[in-house]
Amino acid sequence: MKEKLIQAFLGLVDSIIAAVPKVLMGVLLLVGAFVAAKLIEKSLRYALTKVRFDALVGRVGIDGALHQLGIRQELTLLVPRLVYFLVLLLFAKTTVDALGLVAISNAIGSFFEYLPNIVSALLLLILGSTVGQFAGQTVAQSAESSGIEFAPTLGKLVSGLILFVCAMMAIAQLKIDTDIVRIVTSFLLGGAALAFGLSFGLGNREIVRNISAGFYARKVLVVGQPVDMAGQKGVLKAITATHVVLQSGQQEALLPNAVLLDHTVKLGEDNTQP
Strand order in the sheet with 226-229: 251-256, 243-248, 232-239, 226-229, 265-267
Q: What is the mean pLDDT of residues 208-218?
A: 79
Q: What is the mean pLDDT of residues 179-184?
A: 72
Report the DSSP beta bridge partners of residue 234: 227
Best mean pLDDT range from 7-21, 35-49, 64-78, 251-265: 35-49
Number of other residues whose CB lies within 10 A of the CB of residue 14 = 10
Per-residue pLDDT at 17: 62
Looking at domain 214-267, its CATH architecture is Roll (2.30)
Burial level of 164, CB count in 10 A (0-12/13-18/19+)?
middle
Per-residue pLDDT at 10: 58
- Assess contact for 81 and 48: CB atoms under 8 A: no
Pick from 34, 170, 24: nearest CA to 99: 24
Per-residue pLDDT at 202: 62
Q: With bands split at pLDDT 50, 70 and 90, how would you rate the model's confidence at 271?
A: very low
Q: Which residues contact 196 (CB under 8 A, 6 or more apart)?
A: none
Compute the distance between CA of residue 199 and CA of residue 3 in angstroms, rounded to an integer.
Answer: 94
Does the pLDDT of residue 19 top 70, yes or no?
no
Average model confidence (pLDDT) across the chain: 76
Does the pLDDT of residue 62 top 80, yes or no?
no
**Alpha carbon distances (Å) from 193 to 137, 188, 267:** 22, 9, 41
Return the higher-pLDDT residue of 121 and 151: 121
Per-residue pLDDT at 272: 46
Q: What is the mean pLDDT of residues 161-170?
A: 82
Q: What is the mean pLDDT of residues 68-81?
A: 76
Q: Which of 120-129, 173-182, 213-222 has the lowest mean pLDDT?
A: 173-182
Instruction: State which H helix or E strand residue 74 sits in.
Output: none
Does the pLDDT of residue 18 top 60, yes or no?
no
The DSSP 8-state label assigned to residue 250 in this structure reads T
| Verdict on whether the full-model pTM lies above 0.75 | no
Per-residue pLDDT at 113: 83
Compute the distance between CA of residue 223 and CA of residue 268 in angstroms, rounded to an integer.
Answer: 13
Residues spanned by CATH 2.30.30.60 within the chain? 214-267
pLDDT tens digits along 221-235: 888 888 887 777 888
Q: What is the mean pLDDT of residues 112-130?
A: 83
Q: Which residues contact 57 (CB under 8 A, 6 or more apart)?
A: 63, 75
Per-residue pLDDT at 112: 80
Angle between helices 102-145 and 75-99 (to 10 degrees): 160
Does the pLDDT of residue 163 top 60, yes or no?
yes
